[in-house]
Amino acid sequence: MNKLLPAESLGDIPSLLQRYASGELTPSLMVQKVHALMQDDPGNVWIHKLPLETLKGYAFAAETRNKSGVELPLYGIPFAIKDNIDLAGIPTTAACPAFAYTPQYHAMVVQRLIDAGAIPIGKTNLDQFATGLNGTRSPYGACRNAFNPEYISGGSSSGSAVALAKGLVCFSLGTDTAGSGRVPAAFNNLIGYKPTRGSLSTRGVVPACRSLDCVSIFALTAADAERILEVTTGYDAEDIYSRRGEGYGKDSAVPCLPEQNFRFGVPRNQQLQFFGNQESERLFTEAVAKLQALGGEAVEIDFAPFLEAARLLYEGPWVAERYAAIQQFFDLHGDQVIAPVREIIGGAKRYSAADAYNGLYRLRALKRETDRAWTETDCMLTPTAGTLYTVEAMQQDPIRLNANLGYYTNFMNLLDYAAVAVPAGFQKDGLPFGITLAGPARQDQPLLRLAGRIQQAYGLPLGATGIPLQKEKEGSPGKPFHGSSQVLQPGQSSGQIRVAVCGAHLSGLPLNGQLTSRRGRLVASTTTSPDYRLYALPGDPPKRPGLIRVDRDEQGAAIEVEVWELPVGEFGSFVAGIPAPLGIGTITLENGEAVQSFLCERYAVADAEDISRFEGWRGYLRQLRNS
């Protein structure tokens, strides 16, 4: 492992905010220290370093706004920007000098960060036009691994990852189309968060595959990544691929009931690929055990449809979208594009419109197959990359080895999944290894929180700096910074409504389809608090349950219920189908949690059968069958 950096290394976001709060450091002094450190750049991290006077200007603006009482959740936090993302007044090159232009405006995601008090430090090196997963495809030089410069840093967001791993910034921005925000994270001992497509605006980003591109976040901790997500996420009407936020449903990282665990999918053994690296295989086996120790149940899944989808990205018509992104420049200045990138983009011309449609049809069919995994699991666990190569080996065999690096990453955006790369130990030679948690679109926050639990379980140092992993610290009252990651408590969820059912809507019973057809998810099987009574209302089957809360002087019972979550947009149509005398109200569960549920008007139970003694609808049905 490399030597620790000087004491000026910044650490995670809470650590730097704490230094500001204590008066030990100011943003103006911080930028001077960082500017001095970044001048020595043997690893080819930077394409453009901001001048010290420019950095002081950003720092002064943040300090002034903070003194005036403006809430700045990222007050004075330095960050790096991949050089295919616009920073106003600074050239955007996409690692191709002939392509460079100077934007007038910040990219939307950069603007939101600066508005939150963050300070851009510079533009970082990348695989040219974000085409590659290795970090060697740049005329500015191969970006070197933060732990051993003989090894690749991963790409295409190479410089952004290494700048963070070396302690020069507290977080950095990359992009991720095929794994560019995850592979460099694995190779440099970082969190690499690839959001749900459209969650972060891509306005002001040079496209690779515009329909698939994501702005990604490199962070030292999952909590830092979530903090950045809160600042940067949001609908952008000027970005045609931007999507409005939706709820994420069940939070596997924060179970609503103590007995709940989570289930994670793992590819079949014969489908795992480590390309001869026994250390990666050992570390992945240990990672599976680590998740099991956290309460996870490993579920074997068929990885074949994921792999077939992955091949569509570079072996199918989607490569034509890379050509479309820079078509005019490529046709006029193809000789300015470096060899591996030129071969990949130039090869796109062989695809026809019919090929594109056939590819879309096949992808649609594959997504139906892969989505079945989410009916059995909460998330999927894979290596981020099966192995790590030297710079020399990569340059000798750039296409094949780069393809190997995308084995576990290339399918993610095609299938519209979210993913977080998480550090997971070190090989015996000191090089880091990483795993990836993946889930359906909108599962970003649960994945980040589970990633945080994994980080705490490993207790690994952060980046390459050797800074110890620590729990997030908050500022004390009156200190000159604001904001923190909002962590939901057990029982809370985002954009979802929890509803308890107690009759024919229970799993396996006739009306359960009214929940599953609305994308409902079973959260827990539990009981009410012991002050309810359950009645079987008269009428045709399937009979309806009448749940009422009893007065203090009446005897009640704990009634079996299932707690389901429904997206807010589906809840209205579900409620509209509930016939009188039933309605929706609030009940209390055995653990004290309040949720929505079916309730019955009292007049309707006068002639109904009291079935409370059976402790629930299933017990009542068993009694009917036995009588």
CA angle 224–228–234, rounded 5-degree value = 150
Hey, how many other C-beta atoms are within 10 angstroms of the C-beta on 126?
A: 33
Q: Name the percent of the chain lying above pLDDT 70.
A: 92
**List of E strands, 350-482:** 379-383, 417-426, 432-440
pLDDT at 480 exceeding the cut of 50: no
Averaged pLDDT, 397-402? 96
pLDDT at 448 exceeding the cut of 50: yes
Q: How far apart are CA 144 and CA 135, in angstroms?
A: 8
239, 244, 245, 248 alpha-carbon torsion, rounded to 10°: -110
153-182: burial string, b at 16+ Cβ within 10 Å, e else: bbbbbbbbbbbbbbbbbbbbbbbbbbbbbb
What's the pLDDT band for 465 if we cut at 50, 70, 90?
confident
Q: Give the pLDDT score at 476.
A: 31
pLDDT at 116 exceeding the cut of 90: yes
The neighbouring-strand residues paired with 417 are: 440
The 3-class SS string of 11-67 reads CCHHHHHHHHHHCCCCHHHHHHHHHHHHCCCCCCCEEEECCHHHHHHHHHHHHHHHH
**DSSP secondary structure letter of residue 466:** T
84: which residues sit within 8 A by CB, 6+ positions away? Answer: 92, 94, 95, 126, 129, 130, 175, 205, 206, 208
Q: How far apart are CA 432 and CA 194, in angstroms?
A: 19
Q: How far apart are CA 480 and CA 442, in angstroms?
A: 33
Averaged pLDDT, 476-505? 52
Q: How far apart are CA 365 and CA 520, in angstroms?
A: 23
Choose the catalytic residue: 138, 157, 180, 199: 180
pLDDT tens digit string along 235-262?
Answer: 999 999 999 876 655 555 544 444 457 8
pLDDT tens digit string along 302-343?
Answer: 999 999 999 999 888 999 999 999 999 999 999 999 998 999
Q: How far apart are CA 204 and CA 367, in angstroms?
A: 29
Averaged pLDDT, 442-454? 93
Q: How far apart are CA 77 and CA 27, in angstroms?
A: 8
Are residues 115 and 140 in contact, defined by beta-carbon separation less than 8 angstroms? no
Sign of torsion, CA 83 84 85 91?
Answer: positive
Are residues 30 and 169 in contact, defined by beta-carbon separation less than 8 angstroms? no
357, 363, 366, 367 alpha-carbon torsion, rounded to 10°: -130
Q: Give the pLDDT score at 419.
A: 98
248: amino acid identity, one letter: Y
Averaged pLDDT, 469-490? 37
Active-site annotation holds for 428: no
Active-site annotation holds for 156: yes
Q: How far apart are CA 367 and CA 265, in angstroms?
A: 16
Q: How far apart are CA 87 and CA 82, in angstroms?
A: 10
Q: How far apart are CA 99 and CA 327, in angstroms?
A: 12
Rg (CA), the chain: 27
Tokens of 180: 């560019």
pLDDT tens digit string along 273-311?
Answer: 999 999 999 999 999 999 999 999 999 999 999 999 999
Are residues 595 and 586 in contact, defined by beta-carbon separation less than 8 angstroms? yes
Q: Give the pLDDT score at 470.
A: 57
Q: Give the pLDDT score at 168.
A: 95
Choose the catalytic residue: 9, 15, 82, 194: 82
Are residues 308 and 461 in contact, defined by beta-carbon separation less than 8 angstroms? no
Q: Give the pLDDT score at 472.
A: 43
Tokens of 529: 């608090």
Q: How far apart are CA 564 and CA 518, in angstroms?
A: 11
Which among 467, 488, 463, 487 is positioned nearest to 18, based on CA atoms? 467
The neighbouring-strand residues paired with 82 are: 124
**pTM as predicted:** 0.79
pLDDT at 53 exceeding the cut of 60: yes
pLDDT at 620 exceeding the cut of 80: yes
Q: Whats the size of the chain, residue-wise?
A: 627
The neighbouring-strand residues paired with 594 are: 588
Q: In which region does residue 331 sit, left (phi positive, over 0), alpha (psi from -120 to 50) or beta (all else)?
A: alpha
Choose the catalytic residue: 156, 158, 201, 216: 156
Question: In 3-state terms, what secondary structure has residue 74?
Answer: coil
Of the listed ranges 131-135, 189-193, 601-605, the one predicted with least confidence? 601-605
Backbone phi, psi, residue 516, to 5°: -65, -35
Sign of torsion, CA 296 297 298 302?
Answer: negative
**Is pLDDT larger for residue 184 or for residue 5?**
184
What's the pLDDT band for 492 if we cut at 50, 70, 90?
very low
Q: Give the pLDDT score at 466.
A: 78
Q: Give the pLDDT score at 257.
A: 40
What's the pLDDT band for 6 if we cut at 50, 70, 90?
very low
Are residues 175 and 213 in contact, defined by beta-carbon separation less than 8 angstroms? yes
Q: Give the pLDDT score at 483.
A: 28
Q: Give the pLDDT score at 16.
A: 95
Q: How far apart are CA 92 and CA 329, in angstroms?
A: 15
pLDDT tens digit string along 208-227?
Answer: 999 999 999 999 999 999 99
What's the pLDDT band for 477 if we cut at 50, 70, 90?
very low
pLDDT at 530 exceeding the cut of 60: yes
Whole-number average pLDDT of the chain: 89
The neighbouring-strand residues paired with 596 are: 499, 586
Active-site annotation holds for 180: yes
pLDDT at 507 exceeding the cut of 50: yes
Residue whose structure tokens are 């962070």: 219
Q: How far apart are CA 106 and CA 85, in angstroms?
A: 8
Q: How far apart are CA 9 and CA 16, in angstroms?
A: 10
